[in-house]
Amino acid sequence: MSIRTLDDLLGEGVSGRRVLVRADLNVPLDKQTGAITDDGRIRAVLPTLGALVEAGAKVVVCSHLGRPKGAPDPQFSLRPVAGRLGELLGAPVHFATDTVGDSARSTVADLADGQVALLENLRFNAGETSKDDAERGAFADQLAAFGDAYVDDAFGAVHRKHASVFDVPARLPHVAGRLVLREVEVLSRLTGQPERPYVVVLGGSKVSDKLAVIEALLPTVDRLLIGGGMCFTFLKAQGLEVGTSLLEKDMVETCRNLLERADGKIMLPVDIVAADAFAPDATHDTVPANGIPSHRLGLDIGPETVAGFAAALSQAKTVFWNGPMGVFEMPAFAAGTRGVAEAITKADAFSVVGGGDSAAAVRALGLDESSFGHISTGGGASLEYLEGKTLPGIAALEN
Ligand code: 3PG
Ligand code: MG
């Protein structure tokens, strides 16, 4: 990989220079209170920011949060993130109330050496995500004016062809931050020659999101364990009835085709926790996968499935896990995700957890993060990396 790194930049000396850092501070917020429910992505960027602060740079951090539609939207403000980032860095973070306007300009201009500023949400500006090169470029020009050098440490966003990820590095000397380097290093172990058996666990709600990665992984993996909302489309493809469970009807044929080509590598649930409503206190029972009552929906994998998945995982030497096995946010439907996560930690394997939801699940369930080989900050990004796709943010750093 012909990518310059943060150490290269530090070696040139950054004292007094403005360094624009693209981070992925897209953290989950509590719907009611707006409080940050998982600060993993903020902590993940601290090594890069800390090194720049220590070297005396004027550090200008930018990020997106959520999916606002190209205009300011208070529920997606990065202000709470600035507060948390300041606590973790042990020094206040100067917050700009816009991204490239007056507040941003004066905040950046007022930075002293070794101080950190955070700009308001990049996606409050239509130029950030625009499909139009000129519109993105114009926004990238404004952003690039805040830096003498650019560091990409937003691994979770490297699969997006957005101004701050793709166009800014074309305008400034650019390097990969510590997080991006570490993520690429770890994920390349999975695409290279993973130690076998290589077992992949996929969950989450939508098959359509995971189709490309399933296609790409099938030839390489020894076992593919499928749970989460997406398993019902596969069960349907096997000819089973799934009640009112999540079902992507237009994907059934595709799933049938995948199952035919999978050479028995795909393992599906044999039992399901089926509930009468999508609610934490819904009446529920464990039923065999071929006996889901017509008026019920599956919200978790059952204990027999967990045992089967755990047995497969106990053999593994390499594990990649993306996507929860059930609605783990509701305690009644968390056992599947917990069981699989625990089985991964017990396996004598190099394990990688990919995806914001799975990483958040690990922490929300109180599991020990250090018992996993690597917890990726990227969901879509880690999947697209494993698919072998060209990631715009990485490609931009290579140029
Ligand atoms: C993520 O959470 O997957 C990243 O922050 C990217 O966000 P996006 O899917 O809204 O582009
Ligand atoms: Mg995403």
The protein residue whose alpha carbon is closest to atom 7 in ligand 1 is 157
Judge whether residue 219 has pLDDT over 80: yes
Contact call for residues 207 and 251 (beta carbons, < 8 A): yes
The model's confidence at residue 377, banded by pLDDT at 50, 70 and 90, is very high
Contact call for residues 66 and 58 (beta carbons, < 8 A): no
Backbone angles phi, psi at 173, to 5 degrees: -55, 135
Q: Over range 334-356, report the average pLDDT.
A: 94
Alpha carbon distance 237, 262 (integer Å): 13
Q: Over range 47-69, report the average pLDDT.
A: 98
Q: What is the pTM of this model?
A: 0.91
pLDDT tens-digit map of 138-154 = 999 999 999 999 999 99
How far, in Å, is the centroid of ligand 1 from the Cα of 69? 14
Contact call for residues 352 and 321 (beta carbons, < 8 A): yes
For residue 374, what are the contacts with CB-CB under 8 A and spacing of at least 6?
A: 182, 183, 186, 351, 352, 353
Ligand 1 closest atom vs CA 356: 2
CA separation, residue 3 to residues 74, 180, 208, 399 (Å)? 36, 11, 32, 8
- Give the model's pLDDT for residue 361: 87
Name the residue with higher pLDDT: 360 or 248: 248
Which one of 38, 45, 64 would you pick to mutate in the ligand 1 pocket, going by the greatest count of ligand atoms within 8 A of its CB?
Answer: 64
Quick one: which of 258, 227, 263 has its CA closest to 245?
227
Ligand 1 closest atom vs CA 157: 6
Contact call for residues 269 and 305 (beta carbons, < 8 A): yes
Q: Which ligand is the nearest neighbour of the Cα of 392?
A: 1
The model's confidence at residue 345, banded by pLDDT at 50, 70 and 90, is very high
Q: Structure tokens of 72?
A: 């300011």
Q: Over range 112-121, report the average pLDDT.
A: 98
pLDDT tens-digit map of 274-306 = 999 999 999 999 999 999 999 999 999 999 999
Q: Which of 12-21, 22-31, 356-365, 371-380 has the lowest mean pLDDT?
A: 356-365
Q: Over range 224-250, report the average pLDDT.
A: 98
DSSP code, position 353: E
Which one of 22, 25, 26, 391 would you pick to mutate in the ligand 1 pocket, going by the greatest count of ligand atoms within 8 A of its CB?
Answer: 26
Quick one: which of 246, 332, 250, 335 has its CA closest to 297?
246
Q: Hey, which bits of 69-211 come out as E strands?
A: 93-95, 116-118, 149-153, 174-176, 198-202
How far, in Å, is the centroid of ligand 2 from the Cα of 28? 11
Q: Which amino acid is it at 333?
A: F
For residue 327, what are the contacts with CB-CB under 8 A and spacing of at least 6?
A: 278, 299, 300, 333, 334
**Which amino acids bring their CB within 6 angstroms of ligand 1?**
24, 26, 67, 156-157, 160, 356, 379-380
Judge whether residue 32 has pLDDT over 80: yes
Judge whether residue 1 has pLDDT over 70: no
